[in-house]
Amino acid sequence: MLDPVALTVFFVFFTLVTALGFYAARWRRGDLRSLGEWGLGGRRFGVLVTWFLLGGDLYTAYTFIAVPAALYGQGAVGFFALPYTIFVYPIAFVLMPRLWNVCRRHDWVTPADFVRGRYGSDLLALAIALTGILATLPYIALQLVGMQAVIAALGITGSGFARELPLIVAFVILAAYTYTSGLRAPALIAFVKDTMIYVVVIVAIVVIPLRLGGLGAIFTAASRHFAAAAAAAPNAPHGSVMLTPSAYWTYATLALGSAFALLMYPHTITGILSAARAEVIRRNAALLPLYSLLLGAIALLGFMALAAGVRMHSPNDAVPALFKAVFPSWFTGFAFAAIAIGALVPAAIMSIAAANLWTRNVYKAFLDPRATDARQTSMAKAASLAVKFGALVFIIAVPQQYAINLQLLGGIWILQTVPAVALGLHRRLFHHNALLWGWLVGMVGGTALSFSVGVKPAFALRAGGATFAPYIGLDALVLNLAVCALLTLAFDRAGNARHTDATCNDDYADAPRTVPPTTTLGTLRPI
């Protein structure tokens, strides 16, 4: 049923964000005909802007829709998202300043640029670029799933084209201000988006438990729900409030694998390369865990929905239904606007990152090597539009019972870039041809395993009478690394020369600070 009050509030905030998106072209003025300005914001963002940008980049519809949906339908295993965001920041603290330094010195825009310079292989760089684009599509699709859930909860329903029209309109608006403003648009909007999300979460974790009898009552109700589901269908998989021993491997490997995957995503690296200094990245690695507090609170919304008696066919609809059941219409509209904006900001960054990869590592590298900077920027703008609409394919083709599986599928793919990108930031351990074959084996093996279990993240293995189900992304990465190690030995012994490394050790270190000349202050007398 259409809620006019909620819809009005939603429309007001959505309009505000749209205006900010177009205004961003004038914010921190730069020549938006340059790819460095359009695609990386001129590499001038300080600690505050980078904090909001990376927060808007990393905490998305995945946070508000997919994680609570996992707890709502699968129980405690969905909490893997919390330790994963804790793991990721120490890794970022170590790896990402090195990537920023080397890319800044060589004017590289994408991780594939780095791979091409580090290993001297156009084919390996192409593989990394195509993997980044492919892995980004389901992540953008996840944002669309979040927006679909919100639009439906507002009462905007129908069939066929009429049902999809609001989503199409929102996406066209997103495409328009991304095209004109580049990375500045999501960076500026992220200030509004993150503020709104903090307000919604703080209100939700205070008000909802009070209305449901406290956290103890919420966990008790969720436990009863899972127990009843298990009794009704004892042979079917079911969730639980406490992690069961059979889920230990899944939980741990999902957390570890997702942490490495998150840092390899093109949109994460785009946000990092937009920073003004390597020190900005380190400070953000120390500050961003504040968002993990948000994530833990938001995840509990899945159990709160069960305790509130919300029963939805799709777990993705649980949080919107919970807000409609608990809050007045005006706050529901505000919360839905926060969720929708939380989907648009990362979708914009993701499309820009994928467009940068296409332009630098496919178009310029293979189709038009003499393309000017202005021509590259025009191509990137067009590619960003294509990527957004390409994500719609995943909405149609991939099962959506749990939206989080869309992101985990992309994680399986992007993890296969770890040997070339993450390990390459410290040493050139592997031969470039070995990395290419390892990537191919990991991609094919990981994709086949995932689709063999219905596009799910874990694959059950049996050993010594025990069954454990690790994350497929890590399974494929182990296979990838094994192939890289074995073939590196083979290529080196066969005398297959490695290509020239365009980097040196100094490229990865922070540039020395410029010390201003000493100013003569005259003779100082003791007081």
Query: What is the value of pTM for the model shown?
Result: 0.90
51: which residues sit within 8 A by CB, 6+ positions away? 284, 287, 288
Predicted confidence at residue 523, as pLDDT, reads: 42
Res. 492 pLDDT band, cuts 50 70 90: very high
Determine the Cα–Cα distance for residues 366 and 377; give it in Å rounded to an integer.
16
Where are the extended beta strands (E) located within 397-501? 461-463, 466-468
Write out pLDDT tens, residues 149-162: 888 888 877 666 66
Structure tokens given for 363: 């178009």
Between the CA of residue 149 and those of 63, 207, 370, what are the distances in Å? 13, 22, 45
Percent of the chain with pLDDT over 70: 92
Quickly state the pLDDT bin for 393 (edges 50, 70, 90).
Answer: low
Whether the per-residue pLDDT at 363 is higher than 50: the answer is yes
User: Measured at the alpha carbon of residue 298, what is the angle toward residues 296 and 304, in degrees to the nearest 5?
Assistant: 110
Percent of the chain exceeding pLDDT 90 equals 53
Nearest to 217 by CA among 324, 320, 304, 322: 304
Of 117, 397, 111, 143, the closest CA to residue 261 belongs to: 111
What confidence category does residue 465 fall into, taking pLDDT thresholds of 50, 70 and 90?
Answer: confident
Is residue 272 within 8 A of residue 100, CB to CB? The reply is: yes
Domain ranges of the chain: 4-403
Residue with tokens 């922070």: 510
**Beta-carbon count within 10 A of 237 CB:** 9
Average pLDDT, the chain: 87
Choices 3.90.1150.10, 1.20.1730.10, 1.10.10.10, 2.40.50.700: CATH for 4-403:
1.20.1730.10
CA distance 308 to 209: 10
Q: Is the pLDDT of residue 522 over 50?
A: no
